[in-house]
């Protein structure tokens, strides 16, 4: 096994004569070759890449020649015989400054991963710009109108305009929060401030406020006895809000919200809707960034944040068909009791 096998990128090492001495598992996958087909060969032949015009990378870059002060091959795109683009960079190891190259270390990665990341960044910018434009237009329009024509409006008209501006400001704040939380989840920096929580009572308090914006009261069904779990109440509120709003937007309304003791540990939260259900083939994709169903509005970040919050608590999330129709989204929260308290002797 290569000493570089734990690295995510493909690595090819050649000696002073250009003979390949080591390749890792990722390099074998990228180059689609067995170790015996690579080790011992000249690096020019083992890493057979060109620029699609017949010029191979080795002749163009001349890693063992050229300027004696070179120590790095800048990242460039080269192509396999099948037309796949490979991004390659390299280190020229010299035992002394301006001395001959004693070892060449190449790092390879497929370009589609970089292209996917670039597309994701572009999607993020486009989504943010689109979602920010509408409330900003409303804020600008109403404030400009009020500033120009304040004396022409009645108190009631001014109040209505200011209430609209306030609602648009709340929408902007929510969008910015979602974008920041999505970035934190991406980088593994989502913070949690856990405390012992009665999830059923917490969910009732959350839904009491949310019900004001929906037709009818949301029914909460909870077990009589539930174990307290250690969760971040604010993050749980964010999760519940996103699930309920998703059910209202895409599931034709919330059927009920259930909080039950999970088998063995923790509690299980279930949000059911009246919709047509969610096809099995999209159930995994619906928790990815920017996933949307149909032409309804939204950033496509709500369910991505739901999964990030569940994962941050060490929980699990699944989507099922409801026994009365529609879809059910279940989130399991483990008890997460700190070990220092778990080991306390009984009173």
SS (H, E, C) the chain: CCCCCCCCCEEEEEECCCEEEEECHHHHHHHCCCHHHHCCCEHHHHCCCECCCCCEHHHHHCCCCCCCCCCEEEEEEEECCCCCEEEEEEEEEECCCCCCEEEEEEEEEEHHHHHHHHHHHHHHHHHHHHHHHHHHHHHHHHHHHHHHHHHHCCHHHHHHHHHHHHHHHHHHHHHHHHHHHHHHHHHCCCCCCCEEECHHHHHHHHHHHHHHHCCCCCCEEECCCCCCEEECHHHHHHHHHHHHHHHHHHCCCEEEEEEEECCCCCEEEEEEECCCCCCHHHCCHHHCCCCCCCCCCCCCCHHHHHHHHHHHCCCEEEEEECCCCCEEEEEEECCCCCHHHHCCCCC
- Boundary (domain end) residue, out of 141, 158, 187: 187
- Domain that residue 224 falls in: 195-337
Judge whether 79 lies within some domain.
yes
pLDDT of residue 212: 54
Above 70 in pLDDT, residue 118? no
CATH number for the domain that contains residue 20: 3.30.450.20
Q: 235 and 143, same structural domain?
A: no
Q: What is the pLDDT of residue 343?
A: 52
Q: Is residue 168 part of a domain?
A: yes
Residue that is last in its domain, among 110, 130, 155: 110
Give the chain's mean pLDDT: 85
Report yes or no on 133 lying in a domain: yes
Write down the pLDDT at residue 17.
95
Residues 302 and 332 both lie in one domain: yes
- The answer to the question of residue 342 being in a domain is no
Q: Are residues 262 and 328 in the same domain?
A: yes
Distance of alpha carbon 157 from alpha carbon 161, whole angstroms? 6
**Looking at the whole model, is its pTM more than 0.75?**
no
The residue ranking higher by pLDDT, 20 or 2, is: 20
Is residue 347's pLDDT more than 50?
Answer: no
Task: Check whether 339 has a pLDDT greater than 80.
Answer: no
Q: Is residue 344 part of a domain?
A: no
Q: Which of 133, 164, 187 is the last residue of a domain?
A: 187
346 part of a folded domain? no
In angstroms, the CA 115 to CA 129 distance is 21
Residue 35 domain flag:
yes
Q: How far apart are CA 119 and CA 112, in angstroms?
A: 10
| Token digits of residue 201 | 């009572």
Looking at the chain, the whole-number percentage of residues with pLDDT higher than 70 is 89
Instruction: Please tell me whether residues 43 and 119 are part of one structural domain.
Output: no
Sheet containing 327-333: give its strands across.
220-222, 254-261, 267-273, 327-333, 316-321
Residues 220, 176, single domain; the answer is no
- Token couple for 11: 């690595």
| Structural domain count of the chain | 3
Task: Verify that 146 and 200 share a domain, yes or no.
Answer: no
């Amino acid at each position: 096994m290569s000493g570089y096998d734990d690295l995510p990128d493909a690595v090819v090492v050649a000696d002073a004569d250009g003979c390949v001495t080591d390749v890792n598992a990722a390099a074998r996958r990228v180059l689609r070759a067995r170790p015996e087909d690579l080790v011992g060969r000249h690096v020019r032949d083992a890493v057979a890449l060109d620029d699609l015009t017949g010029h191979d990378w080795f002749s163009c870059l001349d890693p063992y020649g050229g300027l004696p002060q070179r120590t790095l091959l800048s990242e460039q795109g080269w192509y396999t015989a099948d037309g796949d683009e490979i991004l390659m960079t390299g280190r020229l190891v010299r035992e002394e400054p301006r001395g001959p190259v004693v070892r060449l270390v190449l790092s390879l990665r497929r370009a589609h991963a970089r292209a996917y990341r670039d597309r994701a960044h572009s999607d993020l910018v486009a989504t943010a710009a689109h979602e920010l434009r509408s409330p900003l237009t409303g804020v600008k329009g109403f404030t400009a109108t009020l500033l120009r024509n304040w004396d022409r409006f009645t108190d009631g008209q001014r109040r209505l305009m200011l209430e609209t501006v306030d609602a648009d400001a709340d929408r902007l704040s929510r969008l910015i929060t979602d974008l920041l939380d999505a970035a934190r989840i991406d980088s593994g920096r989502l913070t949690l401030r856990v405390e012992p929580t009665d999830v059923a009572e917490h969910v009732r308090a959350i839904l009491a406020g949310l019900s004001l914006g929906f037709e009818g009261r949301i029914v909460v069904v909870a077990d009589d006895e539930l174990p307290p779990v250690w969760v971040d109440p604010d993050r749980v509120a964010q999760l519940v809000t996103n699930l309920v709003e998703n059910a209202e937007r895409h599931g034709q309304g919330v059927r009920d919200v259930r909080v039950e003791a999970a088998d063995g540990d923790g509690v299980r939260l279930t949000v059911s809707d009246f919709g047509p259900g969610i096809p099995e083939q999209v159930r995994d994709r619906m928790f990815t960034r920017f996933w949307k169903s149909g032409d309804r509005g939204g950033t496509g970040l709500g369910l991505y944040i739901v999964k990030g919050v569940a994962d941050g608590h060490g929980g699990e999330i699944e989507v099922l068909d409801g026994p009365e129709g529609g879809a059910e989204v279940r989130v399991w929260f483990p008890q997460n009791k700190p070990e220092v308290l778990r080991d306390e002797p009984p009173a």
